[in-house]
Amino acid sequence: MVMLGVDDLERCRRFYEGGLGWAPWGARQSRTSVKYLNGGVVLAMIDRRYLAAESGLPPGSGSVGIVLVINVSYRAEVDAAADAVSRAGGIISSAARLRDGGLYSCYFTDPDDNPWEVVWNPHMLMDANGVLQAPS
């Protein structure tokens, strides 16, 4: 599970659910957090002030030191994700393009400045269900 602190949970939900089409995951929903299951990973978004109080740590923000990555099955999915992110109000920080090693990806930040990469990697092939295939 990955947990991200957010400034405005409702804005977060509009971005991920309304903009990107993600569905909340889990039987119990909270007023201070929301969880999504994406590619076998639970991503929890939690109110930043609540998280700071609970953890005893200062409220932080997104940093290039941590980048969340969504691996996709097909190269065209990177372009589709970039379009969805833009329509939802995310900021594309590096447009979709070929990268080192034959990768094709784009980078974006969500409304709380959390950095993401959407990547198609020809060396990490996934099936249509997003399941990583064993190397041949």
Region for 108 from its dihedrals, namely left if φ exceeds 0, alpha if ψ lies in -120 to 50, beta otherwise: beta
pLDDT tens digits along 57-98 = 677 665 555 678 888 889 999 999 999 999 999 999 999 999
Average pLDDT over residues 95-120: 89
Report the topology of domain 2-120.
Answer: 2,3-Dihydroxybiphenyl 1,2-Dioxygenase; domain 1 (3.10.180)
Domain map of the chain by residue range?
A: 2-120
Q: For the CA atoms of 19, 132, 125, 74, what is the dihedral angle to 10 degrees?
A: -20
Identify which has the larger pLDDT, 28 or 73: 73
Which band of pLDDT confidence, cut at 50, 70 and 90, is reported for residue 40?
A: confident
Average pLDDT over residues 97-111: 90
Count the residues in the chain.
136
Q: What is the pTM of this model?
A: 0.72
Q: Is the pLDDT of residue 20 over 80?
A: yes
User: What pLDDT sits at residue 90?
Assistant: 94
Name the percent of the chain lying above pLDDT 70.
Answer: 89
